[in-house]
């Protein structure tokens, strides 16, 4: 007979409630791990979707995500003619708030030339942008329906396509519009401001400006070599996709990662203390039973097995509850909760270790219980 199972079966309701509580706690810790991974995944979502080998930006910057970058629109044609470049596309990128049917929605607006790099890799519903103006492909996270009309920068846009999982590093959903629309949105002054600028002799400003040019290279081309060629033009800088990913994960979201990472560690520490206390309480609740077992001759391994098996069962059941809770609710989180097999298994290992270490104090306490404590009232 297994004493640990028998005791749990006897106090099943209490055990399940404890597991549920622990599940919620572990669920929070697991969510933090998922959010941590999600921040990185979201930061890289766009670059992965664009499948760019090279990012050409303004000299002296590491744009367009980490720093502002402005380059002339004709740079795209220059880059496209470079040896090793298969295709190139100009893009713009800016944050904006648009008036959607459900209210104001904060988005990251990406302008690109349809048919060239810069658009979404796949459109989950509807269609990609054609040549028509004032059309938009929006990420599902924006909460827009196909055919919905939104007001952006004084113009009305119609949603013709939806993507999934394309968000900016800050978590804002991406919306794609044509390059011309985005250039007007970003660089064209409103009529009163334009008149004021003209009166001051500043001129209307160049509209054919982009934030970056992205290039896809031929399979045999070396991104570092092509980037070096671009850098010879003094007004341009170039980052390979690996360098851009490094900028996104190490620079742009580094504070968020650190914050989430440290909070996860604190949360795991708190979980460890709570789990240890629960195991200790469960053990001390059985003080008389353990004393009786010792008195009737139970070996230490029987006592250790009882405490350790219950601790591991508690951890396992709590973790299953945590997984159920997190996977049932993660789509309701405003930002991605990325949990793959690696994270799930790693966290299971951490929980197992916490339960093992947490039970050591209880095992020590159980082994110190004197058999005399079974005697008397």
* Chosen residue from 67, 97, 128, 289 binding another protein by CB under 8 A: 289
Instruction: Check residue 7 for interaction with another protein (CB under 8 A).
Output: yes
- 178 has which bridge partners? 112
* Chosen residue from 103, 191, 334, 376 binding another protein by CB under 8 A: 376
Give CA–CA dist 329/337, Å, rounded. Answer: 10
Q: How many residues bind another protein (CB under 8 A)?
A: 25
Q: Which is nearer to another protein, 149 or 373 (CB)?
A: 373
3-state secondary structure of 67: coil
Q: Which is nearer to another protein, 127 or 288 (CB)?
A: 288
Instruction: Check residue 281 for interaction with another protein (CB under 8 A).
Output: no
Instruction: Check residue 371 for interaction with another protein (CB under 8 A).
Output: yes
Burial class (CB in 10 A: 0-12, 13-18, 19+), 95: exposed
Instruction: Check residue 14 for interaction with another protein (CB under 8 A).
Output: no
Q: Which is nearer to another protein, 74 or 300 (CB)?
A: 300
Instruction: Check residue 288 for interaction with another protein (CB under 8 A).
Output: yes
Q: Which is nearer to another protein, 33 or 314 (CB)?
A: 314
Tokens read off for 154 = 């004084």
Give CA–CA dist 18/281, Å, rounded. Answer: 11
Interacting span for another protein (CB under 8 A) from 97-105, 284-292, 322-330, 333-341:
284-292
247 Cα distance to chain centroid: 16
Interacting span for another protein (CB under 8 A) from 75-83, 232-240, 274-282, 368-376:
368-376
* Chosen residue from 209, 249, 292, 309 binding another protein by CB under 8 A: 292
* Chosen residue from 3, 43, 354, 355 binding another protein by CB under 8 A: 3
Interacting span for another protein (CB under 8 A) from 9-17, 26-34, 70-78, 313-321:
9-17
Give CA–CA dist 295/371, Å, rounded. Answer: 5
Burial class (CB in 10 A: 0-12, 13-18, 19+), 360: middle
Helical ranges in the chain per DSSP H: 3-10, 12-50, 75-80, 179-187, 191-199, 223-231, 241-246, 254-284, 287-295, 300-329, 341-368
Instruction: Check residue 18 for interaction with another protein (CB under 8 A).
Output: no
* Chosen residue from 194, 287, 312, 374 binding another protein by CB under 8 A: 374
Instruction: Check residue 155 for interaction with another protein (CB under 8 A).
Output: no
Site string for another protein, 295-334 (x = CB under 8 A): xxxxx--x--------------------------------
CB of 293 to another protein, least distance (A): 8
Tokens read off for 64 = 């367009």
Instruction: Check residue 86 for interaction with another protein (CB under 8 A).
Output: no
Interacting span for another protein (CB under 8 A) from 5-13, 110-118, 123-131, 213-221:
5-13
Instruction: Check residue 140 for interaction with another protein (CB under 8 A).
Output: no
- What's the CA angle centered on 118, arms 117 and 120, to 5 degrees? 105
Interacting span for another protein (CB under 8 A) from 6-14, 20-28, 29-37, 276-284:
6-14
- 37 has which bridge partners? none
Q: Which is nearer to another protein, 254 or 302 (CB)?
A: 302
Give CA–CA dist 211/120, Å, rounded. Answer: 17
Give CA–CA dist 26/320, Å, rounded. Answer: 10
What residues contact residue 177 under an 8 Å CB cut-off, 6+ apart?
109, 110, 111, 129, 134, 135, 136, 152, 157, 185
Packing angle of the helix pair 12-50, 300-329 (nearest 10 deg): 50
Tokens read off for 56 = 């050409």
Q: Residues in the site for another protein, rule: CB under 8 A?
A: 1, 3, 6-7, 9-11, 288-289, 292-299, 302, 370-372, 374-377
């Amino acid at each position: 007979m297994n004493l640990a199972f028998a005791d749990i079966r006897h106090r099943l309701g209490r055990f399940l409630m404890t597991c549920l509580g622990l599940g919620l706690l572990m669920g929070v810790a697991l969510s933090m791990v998922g959010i941590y991974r999600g921040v990185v995944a979201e930061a890289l979502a766009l670059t992965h979707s664009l499948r760019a080998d090279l990012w050409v930006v303004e000299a002296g910057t590491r744009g367009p995500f980490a720093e502002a970058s402005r380059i002339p629109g004709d740079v795209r044609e220059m880059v496209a003619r470079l040896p090793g470049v298969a295709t190139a596309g100009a893009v713009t990128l800016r944050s904006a708030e648009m008036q959607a049917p459900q209210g104001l929605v904060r988005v990251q607006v990406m302008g690109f030339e349809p048919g060239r790099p810069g658009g979404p890799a796949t459109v989950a519903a509807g269609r990609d942008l054609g040549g028509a103006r004032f059309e938009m492909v929006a990420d599902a996270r924006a909460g827009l329906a196909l055919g919905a009309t939104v007001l952006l920068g004084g113009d009305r846009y119609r949603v013709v396509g939806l993507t999934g999982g394309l968000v900016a590093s800050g978590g804002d959903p991406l919306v794609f519009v044509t390059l011309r629309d985005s250039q007007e949105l970003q660089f064209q002054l409103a009529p009163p401001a334009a008149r004021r600028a003209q009166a001051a002799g500043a001129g209307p400003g160049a509209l054919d400006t982009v934030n970056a040019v992205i290039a896809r290279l031929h399979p045999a081309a070396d991104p570092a070599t092509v980037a070096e060629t671009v850098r010879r033009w003094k007004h341009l800088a170039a980052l390979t996709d690996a360098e851009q990913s490094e900028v996104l994960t190490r620079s742009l979201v580094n504070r968020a990662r650190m914050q989430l990472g440290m909070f996860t560690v604190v949360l795991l520490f708190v979980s460890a203390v709570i789990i240890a206390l629960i195991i200790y309480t469960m053990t001390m609740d059985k003080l008389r039973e353990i004393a009786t077992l010792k008195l009737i001759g139970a070996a230490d391994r029987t006592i250790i097995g009882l405490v350790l098996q219950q601790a591991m069962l508690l951890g396992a059941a709590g973790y299953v509850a945590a997984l159920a809770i997190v996977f049932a609710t993660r789509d309701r989180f405003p930002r991605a909760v990325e949990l793959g097999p690696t994270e799930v298994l790693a966290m299971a290992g951490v929980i197992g270790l916490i339960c093992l270490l947490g039970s050591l104090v209880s095992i020590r306490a159980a082994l110190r219980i004197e058999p005399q404590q079974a005697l008397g009232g």
